[in-house]
Amino acid sequence: MSRIYNFSAGPATLPLVCLEEARDQLVDYKGAGFSIMEASHRGKEYDAVHNQAIENLKTLMRVPDGYEVLLLQGGATTQFAMIPMNLLGADQTADYVNCGAWAKKAIKEAGSVGRVNIAGDTAADIPTRMPANGALQLSDDAAYLHITSNETIGGNQYMDFPHSPAPLVADMSSDILSRKLDVNDFGLIYAGAQKNLGPSGLAVVILRSELAERVPDNVPNIFKYSTHIAANSMSNTPPCFGIYMLSLTTQWMIDRGGVEAMQAINERKAAKLYDAIDGSDFFTGTAVPEYRSAMNVTFRLANQDLEPLFIAEAAEQGMAGLKGHRSVGGIRASIYNAFPENGVEALVAFMQDFAEKNG
C-alpha cells in the first residue's frame, strides 16, 4: 500500500487508522453479518454508532446543556440556507461578515430569505484577513451575526471571535475541532464534514436549543431544526456511513487527547510551514500574519510562472493537492487534524530544495 501526502482542501486526508478500521468492518460490522452501510438506521447497530458520534462531539467540544448536536445532510451549503430560514424573521436583519469566498456564498443564500447587513468586508483584500472585531458595523436588533471562522480558500482564520448582542453563528467547516473554543460564545456552529470530520455530504450543527423555536411555520418541516431535534437527527434516513466515519474520527481525536492535543499539533505543523515561507524570499504568504490559518496555508512563489512546476514536481514526490483554489491560484497546503506532521516536513524540505534549484 502506498499513501501519498494529500494536501487537498476537502474532501481531505482522514486518519489512516480510521480508514483501516472501516475497511476491516466494511463487510461484516462487529460480527453482525452485514455492513454498517446495509444496517437499518432503526436497528441497534446503527443506533449505537449514531449516538456515539453525537456523544463524541459533545465530549470533544464540551457542549454545554441547552445546546443540540445535529447530524444533517446537504453539507455546509445547505446550512447557508437553513440558518436564515430558521433564524431570520421577515422583518429582521442578519449581520454577516464578508471575509472571503465561503462567506459570500452564505450571504447570497441569506439574501434570498431576508435582509442582510454586511458588518465588515475584507473579501477583496490581498493579503487576506478578517475585519477587525472592533470595526464591525453591527445593526440594531440583528437576528444573528454570521462569521466564517476559517476561509478555506483565502487561508485567513479568526483568532478571536467577534462579540455581538445577537447570537454568533459560525461556519467552522474547515476548522471545527482543530482548536479549543467555548461553545457558550456561539448561538450556532456548523461544519461540512469533509475536512476534519469524515466524508462529504454530512453537516454537523450545534445550536442553542431556544434558537430552533424561532422558525416560521411556513418553512418545510425537513428544513426546520426543530424537526431534527425532535427526531435525534433521524427524521429521515441519515447519511449512515458518513456518520459511522464521524464516530471513528471523533473517537480517534478523543484517544489522542482531544481538541487541546489537536491544537498543539496543528500549531506546530502550521508554524513549520509558515517558517519555511517567511524564511525565504522565494515564497510569500497570502494572508496577513495575525490571521494566518493553521488549516489552509496559502502562499505564492515570487515568480508565479514557476507555480505549475512547483505543483507538478511536488506531485511527483508524492505530495498532491497543492494547487490553490481555481479562483485565486497560488499554492495551498491544507493540513487538517489528520494530516501527518511528517507530510508537512516533507513539503518544507521540498520547498527549500525547489527554491535552491530555481532561485
Q: Which residues bind ligand PLP (CB under 6 A)?
A: 10, 75-77, 102, 148, 152, 171, 173-174, 192, 200
Distance CA 12, CA 244 (A): 17
Pick the closer one to ligand PLP by CB: 116 or 301. Answer: 116
Task: Give me the least distance between CB of 295 and ligand PLP, in Å please.
Answer: 9
Q: Are 21 and 207 in contact (CB under 8 A)?
A: no
Distance CA 324, CA 288 (A): 17
Label the pairing between strands 283-285 and 150-151: unpaired
Pick the closer one to ligand PLP by CB: 79 or 263. Answer: 79
Q: Are 294 and 334 in contact (CB under 8 A)?
A: no
Pick the closer one to ligand PLP by CB: 41 or 105. Answer: 105
Pick the closer one to ligand PLP by CB: 174 or 247. Answer: 174
Residues 6 or more apart in contact with residue 39 via CB below 8 angstroms:
29, 32, 45, 46, 240
Pick the closer one to ligand PLP by CB: 102 or 252. Answer: 102
Task: Give me the least distance between CB of 292 and ligand PLP, in Å please.
Answer: 16
Pick the closer one to ligand PLP by CB: 171 or 307. Answer: 171
Task: Give me the least distance between CB of 325 and ligand PLP, in Å please.
Answer: 10
Distance CA 157, CA 190 (A): 16
Active site amino acids: 102, 171, 195
Q: How far is CA 307 from CA 179, 288, 302, in A?
A: 31, 21, 9
Task: Give me the least distance between CB of 150 and ligand PLP, in Å please.
Answer: 6
Task: Give me the least distance between CB of 263 and ligand PLP, in Å please.
Answer: 19
Q: Which residue is nearest to ligand PLP (CB)?
A: 75
Residues 6 or more apart in contact with residue 169 via CB below 8 angstroms:
83, 87, 144, 145, 146, 147, 186, 187, 188, 189, 190
Task: Give me the least distance between CB of 28 and ligand PLP, in Å please.
Answer: 30
DSSP state of 64: P
Q: Are 113 and 134 in contact (CB under 8 A)?
A: no
- Torsion 172-177-181-184 (CA) sign: positive
